[in-house]
Chain A
Amino acid sequence: MNDMGLIVRTLARATIPLIGIFGAYIVSHGHLTPGGGFQGGATIAGAGILFLIAFGLEEAKKRINKNLYSALEGIGGLVFLGAAMLGLSVAFFYNLLWHKGPILNGHPGSLLSAGYLPIMNLAVGLKVFTGLVSALMAIALYRRWQK
């Protein structure tokens, strides 16, 4: 009994892309609507949990690469730090992209506005998603009670 029944698996095939796209919407619209990096990342990690629950641990072990997720979590943190250090000639966390940037300085309320905030939301979303999925895979792989 390593995965759930046919109905749950078929429903998971339909629901996982829906949750992933909605989480990506929350992350990318973090400066316009409620939500942001953490909330969207946790929502996408919910899709990962649904995959792990519906298809079982063996299938998830084949699909989830530990080194890739660990590296992506580090890259998320580095992108956040890099966006914070863009305007280091003025101050730390100075929003240089908003004040005189080539892109991301659109009219407030549009998607390409708010300077480095979308980049930071994407970085935090990537970090939260990969971190939560890695933590849940580690917990699922623990299995000390069977020895």
Chain B
Amino acid sequence: MIFFYAALLVGVAALLAVARLILGPSVPDRVVALDTLNTLVVAAMVLLGAAYSRTIYIDIAIVYALLSYIGTLVIARYLQGGLM
């Protein structure tokens, strides 16, 4: 049960990150908010995998962590002006 409360706290933090994602005045603000949101989603996935006591759910968290890193990198690559 403690893992559900921890996941709820992570959800509250994710809501704050979503608020910055909506309100952010500039584009890099939104990118940082998205990166924070990705990390929080990974944390929530691990906590919910522990809450439902399924070890195979951790695989999805690993895949999401790797692919969200690539997504952030693509946006950064676009923002720095270095097109392909």
Q: Which residues of A contact B (CB under 8 A)?
A: 1-2, 4, 8, 15, 18-19, 22, 26, 33-35, 39, 43, 46, 49-50, 52-54, 56-57, 140-141, 143
Q: List the A residue with the shortest CB-CB distance to B56.
A: A33
B50-84, CB under 8 A of A: which get 1 and which 0? 00000011011011001101100110010011101
- Contacts A43-B66, A46-B66; A57 near B73 (Cβ below 8 A): no
CB-CB under 8 A from B62, the residues of chain A are 22
Q: Which residues of B contact A (CB under 8 A)?
A: 56-57, 59-60, 62-63, 66-67, 69-70, 73-74, 77, 80-82, 84
Contact of A43 among B63, B74, B80 (CB under 8 A): B63
| Overall SS of chain B's interface | helix
Asked whether A53 lies within 8 Å of B77 as measured between CB atoms, the reply is yes
The distance from the CB of B63 to the nearest CB of chain A, in whole angstroms, is 6
Asked whether B70 lies within 8 Å of A46 as measured between CB atoms, the reply is yes
Asked whether B60 lies within 8 Å of A34 as measured between CB atoms, the reply is yes
Interface centre among A2, A34, A54, A57 (most CB of B within 10 A): A34
